[in-house]
Structure 1
């Protein structure tokens, strides 16, 4: 299929003004109700690769996508634990849906750290009005990890050119935060450019074909002489030249996605074992839920998930502390705490998704059940960055007192 045939139409304008969520408890109550509804059709959507347009609109109209907006700009300024709990709650129902707002929150954190007051006023107002942010950060085909998407000034206009991939949420977005490189004084300087989805020269291409997280809209975005306003250009490089929480906050959300999918897989496994699985013949019991080896394995997964959840909550506290006091030491401690959580949420999520089949038996592999979506989703998402490098960063921190690198992948 050609790129032209896959170009996605822009998202419609918000259907209303979302409410402002007032507390952590309210946010989790709202997320729980949404998750229960999303779970009903999650398997069907995944099987048919039906992009969740109405679910994303319902999700963002709930007010949950505005929980990090600071109070001085009309938001509730809820903490990192709230964001992580929202994501993991939705993730237990639908892993794809839990990943879609991740880059929205990431962009708002980059805005909080690097934006001017005027930029914050403008973009936070847009969020509170129900508009969504996606992303166009990553590029493929470059082993040096350098970005080639350019930002240049021509006859007084600012112009963006380039191609991005892994653009999670861009299909559903009203704004596409784009990492672009400008040449300044012989140096390359990076900016985050907030580009309206309907801008001429912008094409969002639905070409994501991963076997997991199939409904995240993580395809390509191309920019062909896309003209942008200067007020949409936010300094980005400076946010990594100094100690900020952009990286650990982003990674905390990734950990929450994996944890949520693992919880969903574990709940599905328990239901299947209780209702449909057969005990092994040597167990000499009537029900699979009384098979002693099954019971033991369920306990092991449960402990792993509980530990992962505890590290996730602990990491959120470190991120909150670093947001309020962004010193080198606080940001380094937050990055390490989040890396620890990411290791365990990766392992717990993968274990839960694998045990879903081991303990449920062959009948759980029936294609009509589509239970493999849990494993496909968590396996795909945990590949965002390698756990093996997190061990190295953690070891260096505790053994050699070396702060981890400042970028989005730690």
Structure 2
């Protein structure tokens, strides 16, 4: 991205107009226009990447080709506002798209989580020029990578990354310096949204090109699950930032908002997808590979593993819990659709946040239970590494570690018992 010279207020925002947005990459599809089309596209995409899921899990490398197909599918533009050329599909469509992909490969499903968050930020808090420029990029097949989290501070929001030369400018214009971790999707993204503090200590979100001078994204992601997210370290060494592409992000947390709830809805969909995918694979293994326990067989109760009465009972329990997780996810998404991107008041923000908290917490518990009991249903042969069935548990546990389920149940209980609203105007 060309370096933008220092400019006074007003002219700084005009710098965003210099971005060439709106073109569609060769081979990129237009976004689906309805929820039904979006889910059908997600199913086709998930099917196209299903054969390589075990290899991707074992290798832990960035799934470059698979993510290029995701970028070209049009799915990343489904939440772009209609006024800016997108279909502006709601939370229900987004949740079902993510759940569908996560049931096949939750690592790939997690890659655009930050992307959809940034689309919401731009839709609510972006200037008209920022919206035209960056949504034009998204409609053209671009994806936003995540540059939010850091290591080493007192807590996850203790930021050390700085945007120097903003908001007042000076010198050669704003420059970004810092180090991020858990940078899901950034290795293969076109743009990275980077949170930082400006010269007066206010939270901002700067959008910089992945290939900008001074941006370095590594592959030091060595964890037990969600390996293909490659959510390692990104460093920003005096990166020139376009002042017209800096969102004054602090404002979002000073009023009732649904950014956190909508971001968490994607996480809830990933956990729900993991649970459904594990149940599907358990069913396949029981029906095609497992043997009945000898007591059931010798008693004449079961000629196949699927006829074992204990297996039938436990599978029925797990299937019911997965269905409940799916229903709770759909209910939370419907609540967010009713509230909209901008809640009317703190009570509405709390309602959306708590609905998603329940869906996320329950889905995380169910995913952990199904991915564990998969092996008791399927028997010892299911532990053979050639089947890689342990990936379901590893993915569920790794993904759930993002934020404690206990705090979500705490906020739900505290509201219902004591009328205490969630913190940060609805951010959970």
Same fold (TM over 0.5): yes
In the alignment, the residues of structure 2 paired with residue 329 and residue 118 of structure 1 have an alpha-carbon distance, to the nearest angstrom, of: 32
Asked whether the equivalents of residues 247 and 406 of structure 1 are also in contact (C-alpha less than 8 Å), the reply is no
Please give the secondary structure, in 1, of the residue aligned with 2:227: coil
TM-score scaled by length of structure 1: 0.94
Q: CA RMSD in A?
A: 1.4
Q: Which runs of 5+ in 1 are unaligned?
A: 1-12
Asked whether the equivalents of residues 78 and 88 of structure 2 are also in contact (C-alpha less than 8 Å), the reply is yes
Distance change (3 Å), C-alpha of 1:409 and 1:72: closer
Asked whether the equivalents of residues 71 and 77 of structure 1 are also in contact (C-alpha less than 8 Å), the reply is yes
**CA deviation vs aligned residue, 1:132-183 (integer Å, no higher than 9, x gap):** 1011100011124310100110414001101000000000100000001013
Of 191, 216, 233, 2:204 maps to 191
Please give the secondary structure, in 2, of the residue aligned with 1:179: strand
- Which residue in the other structure is 1:182 paired with? 198
Please give the secondary structure, in 2, of the residue aligned with 1:111: helix
Please give the secondary structure, in 1, of the residue aligned with 2:421: coil
**The structure with more radius of gyration:** 2
Of 295, 303, 307, 1:290 maps to 307
Asked whether the equivalents of residues 280 and 288 of structure 1 are also in contact (C-alpha less than 8 Å), the reply is yes
- Which residue in the other structure is 1:111 paired with? 122
- Which residue in the other structure is 2:61 paired with? 50
In the alignment, the residues of structure 2 paired with residue 239 and residue 402 of structure 1 have an alpha-carbon distance, to the nearest angstrom, of: 21
- Which residue in the other structure is 1:9 paired with? none
* Aligned-pair CA distance for 1:282: 1.6
Please give the secondary structure, in 2, of the residue aligned with 1:394: helix
* Aligned-pair CA distance for 1:24: 0.6
**CA deviation vs aligned residue, 1:84-107 (integer Å, no higher than 9, x gap):** 111110011111111001111011
More off after superposition, 259-268 vs 40-49: 40-49
TM-score scaled by length of structure 2: 0.90
For residues 11-410 of structure 1, what are the structure 2 equivalents within 5 Å?
A: 14-145=25-156, 146-153=158-165, 154-184=170-200, 188-284=201-297, 285-323=302-340, 326=343, 327-406=345-424, 410=428
In the alignment, the residues of structure 1 paired with residue 235 and residue 26 of structure 2 have an alpha-carbon distance, to the nearest angstrom, of: 27
Please give the secondary structure, in 2, of the residue aligned with 1:138: coil
Please give the secondary structure, in 2, of the residue aligned with 1:131: coil
Asked whether the equivalents of residues 16 and 130 of structure 1 are also in contact (C-alpha less than 8 Å), the reply is no
Q: How many residues align?
A: 395
**CA deviation vs aligned residue, 1:174-193 (integer Å, no higher than 9, x gap):** 00000010132xxx210111
In the alignment, the residues of structure 2 paired with residue 150 and residue 49 of structure 1 have an alpha-carbon distance, to the nearest angstrom, of: 31
Distance change (3 Å), C-alpha of 1:316 and 1:224: same
Asked whether the equivalents of residues 251 and 409 of structure 1 are also in contact (C-alpha less than 8 Å), the reply is no
Q: Which runs of 5+ in 2 are unaligned?
A: 1-23
Asked whether the equivalents of residues 124 and 341 of structure 2 are also in contact (C-alpha less than 8 Å), the reply is no
Asked whether the equivalents of residues 318 and 330 of structure 1 are also in contact (C-alpha less than 8 Å), the reply is no
In the alignment, the residues of structure 1 paired with residue 322 and residue 423 of structure 2 have an alpha-carbon distance, to the nearest angstrom, of: 28
Asked whether the equivalents of residues 254 and 425 of structure 2 are also in contact (C-alpha less than 8 Å), the reply is no
Please give the secondary structure, in 2, of the residue aligned with 1:134: strand
Asked whether the equivalents of residues 319 and 331 of structure 1 are also in contact (C-alpha less than 8 Å), the reply is no
